[in-house]
Amino acid sequence: MNYFYYKLEKTTPNIEDRIDKLETVIQKIDNLKDRKVDTLSKKIIVALNLIESSINKKIIYYRKTMLDTEPV
């Protein structure tokens, strides 16, 4: 995941755009999890949940960063 975030930060300098991209990834993960349980093993669902959790933490970090750097 660290490499994913590294590439995201290098290719997308704007924090709002990063958040949009991460939210798109979360939507795609949710779409995968909505499939029938038979097609996805429980281990894959656990992995997707971990990835989603990590992405949510990064979104929160970016939002805090935006608030801290907002001009007064």
Query: Per-residue pLDDT tens for 5-52?
Result: 889 899 999 999 999 999 999 999 888 887 766 666 878 888 889 999
Say what the pLDDT of residue 72 is.
Answer: 56
pTM above 0.85, yes or no: no
Question: Is the Cβ–Cβ distance between 58 and 22 less than 8 Å?
Answer: yes
Q: Hey, what are 54's tokens? A: 């990590």
Query: Does residue 53 surpass a pLDDT of 60?
Result: yes
